[in-house]
Chains A and B, each alone.
Chain A
Amino acid sequence: MDELRWRFPLCSQALRLYPAPYRSEYGQQILQTLADMLDGSKSRPERASVWLRAVVDLPVSATKQQLLLAGGIMATIMPDYVKQSAVFGAVMLAPFTIFLFLDSITSHSLYGSFFWRPWVVATWIVFMPAIALFATSIAFGRWIMERRQRQTGFWKSLRNWRENWPMLAIGVLSFGVIILAFGHDSVHCVVRNPIPAIRYWHTTWTCIRNG
């Protein structure tokens, strides 16, 4: 193995793209086969072709193995509540994605519609993402507690992305949506623009109260 590592230092590093179990099982054989391919090449163009094939093949197959591993973990090891919280969060974020997408492709034609009324817009732009964030935070808390019972530290648990990525991704997304909503700079509620309607909630409330 060491001899092959010396001969192919870059490829040895590229093997790190593969999941660790796969790498330990097949890493040496991959390097050995590459060495055999190069040894079997008779001319410089043939060797170049071998390298070209390897350059394309290794990242693609590494990605495939990573996805297979992640999929396998998702199907077997990942707790149900992690998946359920992610699905629930995704459903809560769906209106935000759909309405903004529809609005942008129809040149803001939804601005005057029912979906842009202050309380409706507040529901899909803040409350639903907040519920998504809450659900994924609860699930994440439970997950961390379970890991702590197994003597796994917080950061190590956090870095174990293959087992927690659905809830983390949805949690981060929903947090981003809320920050985006409150950080958006625009005019206030009377022109039915949703973001400032929430940002300047006091003005919005006054708007609603005054009709």
Chain B
Amino acid sequence: MSRKTSNLMPQVSFSILLALSLKPRHGYELMQQVEADSRGIVKLGPGALYGAIKQLREEGLIEEIDGEGDRRRYYRLTEAGLRRLGAELKYFESTVKLAQQRGLTQGGLIWTS
């Protein structure tokens, strides 16, 4: 698969799209889901979270929806966001397959064998 590095989505943006794939969420829910999905590896602060949300909204990958009386704003994936998430997952899937073919997922590293 030919792919430019600049087209790869940042980890935080990818994590947000993944977290929104289940249902629309507000900021705090998003942070919790991102942290849970990454098993605690990706921990966001509120500033970083909304920076990424702004970027994703500008790219049309997520949109804001009415919180129905809640003062929190909710966000959900758009069609374009869903497609982009699918493309990212496909890329990761192919990368994992490649790593498996090379035996890297069984703990063996080629240059140490």
Q: Which residues of A are at the interface with B, using a C-beta cutoff of 8 A?
A: 22, 25-26, 28-34, 36-37, 40, 53-54, 56-58, 60-62, 64-65
A34 in contact with B46 (CB, 8 Å): yes
B15 to chain A, nearest CB (A): 16
Using known A-B contacts A30-B46, A54-B46, A61-B45, determine if residue A36 contacts B51 with beta carbons closer than 8 Å. no
Q: How far is the CA of A43 from the CA of B51 in the complex (A)?
A: 28
Using known A-B contacts A26-B54, A32-B71, A32-B72, determine if residue A57 contacts B48 with beta carbons closer than 8 Å. yes
B54 in contact with A37 (CB, 8 Å): no
0 or 1 for each of B32-45: is its CB under 8 Å from A? (1 = yes): 10000000000111
Chain B interface SS verdict (over half): helix
Which residue in B43, B45, B71 is a CB contact (below 8 Å) of A58? Answer: B45
B41 to chain A, nearest CB (A): 15
Q: Which residues of B contact A57 (CB under 8 A)?
A: 44-48
Count the A-B residue pairs with Cβ separation under 8 angstroms: how many? 61
Chain A interface SS verdict (over half): helix
Using known A-B contacts A25-B54, A29-B72, determine if residue A60 contacts B31 with beta carbons closer than 8 Å. no
Q: Which residues of B contact A22 (CB under 8 A)?
A: 54
Q: Which residues of B contact A58 (CB under 8 A)?
A: 45-47
Q: Which residues of B contact A37 (CB under 8 A)?
A: 28, 31, 46
A23 to chain B, nearest CB (A): 10
Q: How far is the CA of A155 from the CA of B49 in the complex (A)?
A: 36
Q: Which residues of A contact B50 (CB under 8 A)?
A: 26, 29-30, 33, 61
Q: How far is the CA of A29 from the CA of B45 in the complex (A)?
A: 12
Q: Which residues of A contact B45 (CB under 8 A)?
A: 53-54, 56-58, 61
Q: How far is the CA of A62 from the CA of B47 in the complex (A)?
A: 7
B28 in contact with A36 (CB, 8 Å): yes
Q: Does B27 contact A (CB under 8 A)?
A: yes
Instruction: Return 5 A-B CB contacts under 8 Å, by A number.
Output: A29-B50, A29-B73, A33-B28, A57-B44, A57-B46
